[in-house]
C-alpha cells in the first residue's frame, strides 16, 4: 500500500465530509505542524458510515472493508526519524490526529491542497508506511 499526497484532489465528497478541513496545506508544512486529522481515500469501502461521515458510497457489506468516516491513526511506536521533513510532518499528524476515510479513490491517498512547493520525492517516502502501522480509532465518543 502506498501513501502519497494527492495534490490535485477535486473528487466528490461521498462521505459528506467537508474537503478543506482534512487537506494538508503547504503553509502547515512550512510552519512544521499540522493540527488536524487528514482525509484519505481507499479503493473500496463497505455500505456503512461512522461519524463524522453522513453517507456511505458502496453496496458492499464486507465487514473487512472500512466504513466512510472511519479514523485510523499511525501507531505511536512507529519510527519516523528516517523520513524527510515534509513526510515527517505528515507522519506526526497521522500519529496525533489520524486520518479519516473520506471517499473512494486510490488506496491510501492523503489529500493535499495544490502547491508547487510540495516535494513529491519526500512525500512518496510515505509509501514505506503500511496498513499494519495503523490502528483503528474508536471515535464514537466524538459524536455530538
109-111 sheet: strands from edge to edge: 4-6, 109-111, 38-42, 99-104, 71-74, 134-137
CA 19 to chain centre: 12
Q: What residue ranges do the domains of the chain occupy? A: 4-137
Over the stretch 57-71, which tens digit does the pLDDT of each residue have?
Answer: 899 999 999 999 999
- Average pLDDT score over residue span 71-82: 97
| Residues 125, 136: Cα–Cα separation, whole Å | 22
Model pTM score: 0.85
Amino acid at each position: 500500500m502506498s501513501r502519497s499526497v494527492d495534490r490535485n484532489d477535486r473528487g466528490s465528497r461521498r462521505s459528506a465530509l467537508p474537503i478543506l478541513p482534512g487537506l494538508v496545506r503547504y503553509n502547515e508544512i512550512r510552519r512544521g505542524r499540522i493540527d488536524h486529522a487528514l482525509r484519505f481515500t481507499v479503493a473500496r469501502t463497505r455500505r456503512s458510515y461512522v461519524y463524522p461521515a453522513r453517507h456511505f458510497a458502496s453496496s458492499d457489506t464486507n465487514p473487512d472493508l472500512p466504513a466512510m468516516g472511519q479514523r485510523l491513526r499511525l501507531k505511536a511506536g512507529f519510527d519516523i526519524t528516517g523520513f524527510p521533513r515534509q513526510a515527517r510532518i505528515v507522519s506526526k499528524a497521522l500519529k496525533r490526529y489520524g486520518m479519516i476515510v473520506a471517499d473512494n479513490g486510490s488506496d491510501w491517498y492523503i489529500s493535499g491542497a495544490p502547491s508547487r512547493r510540495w516535494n513529491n520525492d519526500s512525500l512518496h517516502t510515505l509509501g514505506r508506511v503500511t496498513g499494519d502501522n495503523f490502528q483503528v480509532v474508536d471515535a464514537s465518543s466524538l459524536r455530538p
